[in-house]
Structure 1
């Protein structure tokens, strides 16, 4: 009963109108006074930020902060696929006939996640990572590979939470929430970077200008408040590190595994 009640409350509050109001406040100068409280509450390492706390003009400005240069070295091992974000792995594994199995007890399909795109056929037997960014994390998204942006798609949607509660108890949030999908062609195939919006602000923005050619570790986009990245590797092109598992923490530039030619 309690779970159904909280699910109902979340359904009612997960509307773009609510997110727009929350976002307007977070981007206003009025929110600036909340930055020290926010940083302390979430134990954010403010010493890692590019600027001092006093230099940020709003809570959103602080939330989308860059880090000091050199804090996230990029693994340059040949054929590496690197993490695009600082995050916890909340799902990972082989995609089975288009099925992404058991992400917090729920299954998804590549077809629904990619909004019926014809490209979903490239991932029906690939590999996936679900990478959750908490409010504590750095919220800029970087390219996981060196390659060329070949397609982009924005999918409007809901703004359900993508934390433990949202993934486990809300219905199929990864495929119902707003998404921004970037397809990147690399040496061995292609990759889909699916950026999933979340409750409250739910705004996902590309860096400007977004170049067509990216090096691994280049800035790609950023979240205005917490969310999730689903990373899909094309069929037969990826082997993960054997020490990674659900619950592992990763940082931008850390090697997730090795890309390889299709057999």
Structure 2
């Protein structure tokens, strides 16, 4: 017993001394060798990954910087030329230049592809209903069930019920599309208002020599104001304009505003800048820069130009009587000039379907009419397809009143015949 206790005490004393010796050497325990190796390997990998990323990031950044610098220098040297009073107008503002440098055509094509992807049938009513609630689209007017639209683009160009858009019969000019009225009124010069206080160049918008005049004849014989007069079939008439903006929630098909004959079409490949009214206030000449399709012809009042203007995220513009039209495509500088195609005097009736926007955009209507033509609209109001644009002139109403008075007088005279005269 005594020996066992002595041994226990010796062992306890030995353990205490070893513990004190270890504490005296260091309070921090040393790391094992395998931990040191793992830490060193991780640090080496981290450094290698950083070096690889910098090898990729630095050349890419330098390349984009050179590309942006080249584009910036080109825009400041040449800009977007728009001839006004025999002098170029350059968009040299920094914000406008940066905005024009954005790859909006590429993003619009990508967006057009995304909205064309077929959606699951079970999710279609929920997704379209959610979209309709955000952009205030009226689903009660839709002819088909929501599950019948395979993708978002087909929902955009949805067909409405038969009597959803009655055509006004008491007017010779009706609204071509659903949307918001940005501007309307007579056109007296080539500086035409796109919104109140901000203008675009009509000559650049439509192109030259519309009435069988060469470019040299126009530049020599006509001035900017005479260009508007050269469009008129009757010199006693005036040129009028209507601009309708289609919001994302609007019905995206557009119709013929009147009985018209289309002679030819001009496709202007250009930018795809936003045509939102908030942007139009700060971007003069935007309609002259954007991609657009202009259909030139005649109606009973004279000259008619029906233009569908492209915009950001507009997949494409489709016109039913023009099967060869393709918009929002890749184009090179040599093919950036407008292209003209004949439509062999195609006849379009009033209210007939004309085309569709594969997302929202703008309709610009330019037409010739008598000087007493009066719009029955207000700037900023919402209009629908088939709604009358004009009211009867005062002369016509006076003639109707005179005719009514004449009929009443004749009826009174015949009634007085049977009365005995005193």
Q: Work out which of the residue numbers 239, 247, 266 in structure 2 matches 1:153.
A: 266
Q: Check if 1:249 corresponds to 2:249.
A: no
- Contact in 2 for aligned 1:127/1:238 (Cα 8 Å): no
Residue aligning to 1:15 = 104
Structure 2: where are the runs of 5+ without partners? 1-92, 212-227, 324-342, 394-422
Structure 1: where are the runs of 5+ without partners? none
Provide Cα deviations, 1:117-156, integer angstroms capped at 9, x if missing partner: 5256316951111111111110101000112221111111
Q: Check if 1:169 corresponds to 2:282.
A: yes
Relative to its length, the structure with more helix (as a share) is 2
Distance 2:94 2:115 in 1: 28
Q: Check if 1:46 corresponds to 2:139.
A: yes
Residue aligning to 1:76 = 169
Q: Secondary structure at the match of 2:251?
A: coil
- Contact in 2 for aligned 1:177/1:198 (Cα 8 Å): yes
Alignment of 1:97-116 (within 5 A): 97-101=189-193, 103-116=195-208
Alignment of 1:28-39 (within 5 A): 28-30=117-119, 33=124, 34-39=127-132
Mean CA deviation greater in 5-14 or 100-109: 5-14
**Shift of residue 9, structure 1, vs aligned partner:** 6.3
Distance 2:314 2:353 in 1: 21
Provide Cα deviations, 1:147-168, integer angstroms capped at 9, x if missing partner: 2221111111111111122211
**Shift of residue 98, structure 1, vs aligned partner:** 2.6
Residue aligning to 1:26 = 115
- Contact in 1 for aligned 2:194/2:280 (Cα 8 Å): no
Distance 1:13 1:30 in 2: 30
Residue aligning to 2:231 = 122
If asked which structure has higher relative contact order (CA below 8 Å, sep 6+), I would say: 1
**Shift of residue 233, structure 1, vs aligned partner:** 1.1
Structure-2 change in CA distance of 1:257 and 1:197 (3 Å): same
Residue aligning to 2:294 = 181
Structure-2 change in CA distance of 1:198 and 1:102 (3 Å): closer
Structure-2 change in CA distance of 1:5 and 1:42 (3 Å): farther
What RMSD in Å do the two structures reach over aligned CA positions? 2.7
Q: Work out which of the residue numbers 194, 208, 229 in structure 1 matches 2:363.
A: 229
Distance 2:272 2:155 in 1: 21
Distance 1:130 1:208 in 2: 22
**Shift of residue 115, structure 1, vs aligned partner:** 2.6
- Contact in 2 for aligned 1:152/1:182 (Cα 8 Å): yes
- Contact in 2 for aligned 1:128/1:231 (Cα 8 Å): yes
Distance 1:225 1:238 in 2: 36
Distance 1:35 1:10 in 2: 31
Provide Cα deviations, 1:50-78, integer angstroms capped at 9, x if missing partner: 21111100000000111111111111225
Residue aligning to 2:326 = none
Distance 1:139 1:197 in 2: 13
Distance 1:258 1:233 in 2: 16
Distance 1:209 1:115 in 2: 19
Mean CA deviation greater in 56-65 or 248-257: 248-257
The structure with the largest alpha-carbon Rg is 2
TM-score (norm 2): 0.55
